C-alpha cells in the first residue's frame, strides 16, 4: 500500500479510467445509509457487503440528522458518522461520500433541515444568501471531519459528491453549484475527486453538471447501458464511465403495491455495465429500517409519502439478510474480480414472540398536559409547524364552534392546505379525517362553543419533486360553510420526548373512555425468552399510527393502506430479563381486541410485488 504522501485517486482522461496510486482502477460499490441501520448492526452489514465482492460503499450524510436545530450538532451514538467511516476503513472498504447538502435518499426533505423553512421565503438549493449561509455553516462543521479520512491523507474516501441530481430540480442555478464547488475545495483541498450525479436526460445533465465537477449518471436495469453511457459522454467526452446509482430495487409508497425487481434482471444489467469497463454503485442495495421522523415523500402530480420500511427489495433485506439477489450480484462480480475468501455471514436470527395484548391508556386529547407542557399558542388564524418551530410529528389545532349547527354544515380547508393528514374531533368525539390531495371536507353538527380539535400529522417532507419547501400543518384557514374559523389554540406536541422519558409506562393509568375511534395511546409489555433477536410486528385490525418499544420510535404503520404490514424491530432495542414496554398511538380506530403479533418475517402486502418499469 502506498504511503500517505504517494496515495492518490485521480481521473485518467487518456485511458478513460480512474487511477488509484497511479494504477488503473474500477470500483464496484453498494449504498449503505448508516442513519437507517442501528449502530450495533453496522459491522454485520458492512462485512456482508465486503463478502459480496464490493470494493467500496457509498455513504449519504443527512444534514438534518446531525443539525436538528440551528447550530446544535449531534454526532453521538447512531449519529457518529466518524465511527462509521472508521469501521469501513477497518473492514477494507473504500468510501464514496455523498454529503449533500441535499441528498434525496427518500429521506425527510432530502436531508435539508426543516428549520430552514423558519424563513418562509427562503429558496432552497439556490444561491439565496440565507440558504448559502446555512449550508456554509454546516459544511464548516462536517467537512473538517471528512478531510483527514480522504484517500490522499491516508484514509479511505476516494471521492465526494457535490449536491445530488441537481438537474432534476427546477432552479438550474449554476451560481449555487459554483459556490458549493468553492466551499468543498476550500475545506477538502484541491486533490480530492469531486463529482455530480444526474439522470441521463439532456436537460438534467445540462442543469446538474459544472466544469470542475466530474459528471456521472444514474440508471437502472431497465435501461440500455450503452445508450445511458452515451449520455454521460455528451458531458464528459473522456474519463471513466460511472453509474452512481444502479437501481437494484425501488422504494414503496403508502397505498401502492410493494415494489420488486427480479434478481436475474438486476444481475443482467450489472453484467452489462461491468462489461463496458464502467464503475458502478448499486443504489440502496444494503439498507434497513427508517425510524421516524425520517421517511420522506415524492411529489409526482400528488403527494406520495414513502413507507417506514426502506427494504427496497434490496440485495440485503431490511433485517440485513442475504437474498437471492445478493448471491446473483456476487456471481456477476466474480466474473470480473476475485471474491474475498470465506463464507457469506448468515441471516440474523429472528424470533416470533407471538401475541401481546395492549390496553387503552388514554385518548390523546386527555393528555395534552404531558404532550405539550408549555401550553398552547394563541393565534387568530392557524400557524404552520414551521411558524411555531415544530419540525416533525403532530400539532393540535383547537377552536370553538361560533354558532349552533343543528343541520350538517361543511367543515372544509382550501386545496393543498392540509399537510398532511388531519384527525378531526368535536367535543372529543372523532368525526373523521381530512387529507392532503384527498378528502378536504367533513359534515358536522354541534352547538355554539363546542370544542373543535384538528390533530395535524407530518407524513414526511418532500424529498424529491419540483419544490421541496414543504410546509406542514394547516396552511390555510379552515371554514365552516365557507365562513373562516378563528381564535385558535395551537399545541405543538412532543410525543417522542415524552415516550423516550418513560411515559406513559412510568405514569399512573388514566381513566379513559372505552371508545375505539380517534387518536389514543395503548400500552402493553412483553418479555423475551432469554434472547433479544430481531422480530417483526403485525397490527391486525389496527388502522394507522405509530409504535414505540422501550422508548424507541419504530415508525409508522398504516395497515389499512399498505403495502407495508409489519414494522421491523431490531433485537438491539429489546431487553432481556426485564419487561419490554410497548406504546402505540392509534390515530383512527383500534381493533375490538387490541393485540399485536410478533413474527419472524416481514409482510409487505402479503409479499405481493410489482415489476419496475424500464424508465426507473
> What residues act catalytically?
165, 245
**What is the DSSP annotation of 519-530?**
SEEEEEEE--SS
Tell me if 584 sits within 8 A of 608, measured CB to CB: no
Could you tell me which of 164, 265, 178, 181 has the C-alpha nearest to residue 218? 164
Residue 69, C-beta contacts closer than 8 angstroms, at least 6 positions apart: 115
Residue 255, C-beta contacts closer than 8 angstroms, at least 6 positions apart: 561, 562
Q: What is d(CA 549, CA 38) in angstroms, rounded to the nearest whole number?
A: 14
* Beta strands, E only, 291-331: 297-299, 303-305
| Helices marked H in 299-456 | 324-334, 368-371
Tell me if 321 sits within 8 A of 257, measured CB to CB: no
Tell me if the bond preceding 210 is cis, omega within 30° of 0: no
Tell me if the bond preceding 101 is cis, omega within 30° of 0: yes
How are strands ordered across the β-sheet holding 488-492?
Answer: 377-379, 488-492, 394-400, 451-457, 421-426, 429-435
105 backbone φψ class: left, alpha, beta (φ>0; ψ -120 to 50):
left
CA atoms lying within 13 Å on the CB side of residue 208: 30
**What is the DSSP annotation of 465-502?**
SS------EE-S--EETTEE---EEEEE--HHHHHHTT
Tell me if 313 sits within 8 A of 250, measured CB to CB: yes
Amino acid at each position: 500500500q502506498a504511503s500517505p504522501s504517494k496515495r492518490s485517486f485521480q481521473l485518467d482522461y487518456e485511458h478513460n479510467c480512474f487511477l488509484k496510486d497511479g494504477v488503473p482502477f474500477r470500483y464496484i460499490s453498494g449504498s449503505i445509509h448508516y442513519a437507517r441501520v442501528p449502530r450495533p448492526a453496522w459491522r454485520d452489514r458492512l462485512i456482508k457487503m465486503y463478502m459480496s465482492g464490493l470494493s467500496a460503499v457509498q455513504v449519504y450524510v443527512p444534514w438534518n440528522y446531525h443539525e436538528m436545530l440551528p447550530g446544535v450538532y449531534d454526532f453521538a451514538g447512531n449519529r457518529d458518522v466518524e465511527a462509521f467511516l472508521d469501521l469501513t476503513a477497518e473492514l477494507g472498504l473504500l468510501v464514496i461520500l455523498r454529503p449533500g447538502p441535499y441528498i434525496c435518499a427518500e429521506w425527510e426533505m432530502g436531508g435539508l433541515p426543516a428549520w430552514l423553512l423558519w424563513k418562509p421565503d427562503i429558496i432552497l438549493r439556490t444561491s439565496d444568501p440565507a440558504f448559502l449561509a446555512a449550508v456554509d455553516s454546516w459544511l464548516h462543521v462536517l467537512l473538517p471531519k471528512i478531510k483527514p479520512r480522504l484517500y490522499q491523507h491516508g484514509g479511505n474516501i476516494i471521492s465526494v459528491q457535490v449536491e445530488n441530481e441537481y438537474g432534476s430540480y427546477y432552479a438550474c442555478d449554476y451560481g449555487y453549484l459554483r459556490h458549493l464547488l468553492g466551499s468543498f475545495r476550500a475545506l477538502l483541498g484541491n486533490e480530492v475527486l469531486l463529482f455530480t450525479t444526474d439522470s441521463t436526460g439532456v436537460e438534467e445533465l445540462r442543469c446538474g453538471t459544472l466544469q470542475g465537477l466530474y459528471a456521472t449518471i444514474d440508471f437502472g436495469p431497465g435501461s440500455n447501458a450503452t445508450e445511458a453511457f452515451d449520455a454521460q459522454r455528451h458531458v464528459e467526452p473522456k474519463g471513466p464511465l460511472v453509474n452512481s446509482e444502479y437501481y437494484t430495487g425501488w422504494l414503496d409508497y403508502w397505498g401502492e403495491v410493494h415494489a420488486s425487481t427480479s434478481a436475474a434482471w438486476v444481475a443482467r444489467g450489472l453484467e452489462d455495465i461491468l462489461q463496458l469497463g464502467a464503475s458502478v454503485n448499486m443504489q440502496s442495495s444494503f439498507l434497513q429500517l427508517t425510524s421516524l421522523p425520517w421517511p420522506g415523500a415524492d411529489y409526482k402530480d400528488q403527494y406520495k409519502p414513502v413507507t417506514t420500511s426502506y427494504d427496497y427489495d434490496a440485495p440485503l433485506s431490511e433485517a440485513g439478510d442475504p437474498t437471492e439477489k445478493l448471491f446473483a450480484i456476487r456471481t456477476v462480480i466474480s466474473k470480473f474480480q476475485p471474491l474475498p475468501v470465506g463464507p457469506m455471514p448468515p441471516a440474523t436470527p429472528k424470533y416470533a414472540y407471538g401475541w401481546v395484548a395492549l390496553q387503552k391508556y388514554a385518548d390523546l386529547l386527555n393528555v395534552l398536559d404531558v404532550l405539550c407542557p408549555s401550553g398552547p399558542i394563541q393565534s387568530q388564524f392557524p400557524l404552520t409547524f414551521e411558524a411555531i418551530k415544530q419540525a416533525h410529528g403532530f400539532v393540535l389545532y383547537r377552536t370553538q364552534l361560533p354558532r349552533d349547527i343543528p343541520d350538517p354544515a361543511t367543515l372544509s380547508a382550501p386545496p393543498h392546505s392540509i399537510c398532511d393528514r388531519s384527525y378531526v374531533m368535536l367535543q372529543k368525539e372523532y368525526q373523521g379525517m381530512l387529507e392532503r390531495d384527498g378528502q378536504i371536507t367533513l359534515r358536522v353538527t354541534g352547538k355554539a362553543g363546542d370544542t373543535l380539535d384538528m390533530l395535524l400529522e407530518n407524513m414526511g417532507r418532500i424529498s424529491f419533486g419540483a419544490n421541496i419547501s414543504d410546509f406542514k400543518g394547516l396552511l390555510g384557514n379552515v371554514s365552516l360553510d365557507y365562513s373562516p374559523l378563528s381564535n385558535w389554540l395551537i399545541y405543538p406536541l412532543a410525543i417522542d420526548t415524552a415516550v423516550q422519558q418513560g411515559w406513559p409506562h412510568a405514569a399512573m393509568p388514566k381513566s379513559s373512555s372505552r371508545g375505539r375511534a380517534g387518536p389514543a395511546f395503548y400500552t402493553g409489555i412483553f418479555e423475551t425468552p432469554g434472547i433479544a433477536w430481531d422480530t417483526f410486528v403485525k397490527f391486525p385490525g389496527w388502522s394507522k399510527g405509530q409504535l414505540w418499544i422501550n422508548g424507541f420510535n419504530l415508525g409508522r404503520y398504516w395497515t389499512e393502506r399498505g403495502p407495508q404490514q409489519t414494522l421491523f424491530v431490531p433485537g438491539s432495542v429489546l431487553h432481556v430479563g426485564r419487561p419490554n414496554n410497548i406504546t402505540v398511538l392509534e390515530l383512527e380506530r383500534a381493533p375490538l381486541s387490541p393485540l399485536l403479533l410478533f413474527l419472524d418475517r416481514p409482510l409487505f402486502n402479503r409479499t405481493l410485488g410489482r415489476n419496475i418499469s424500464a424508465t426507473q
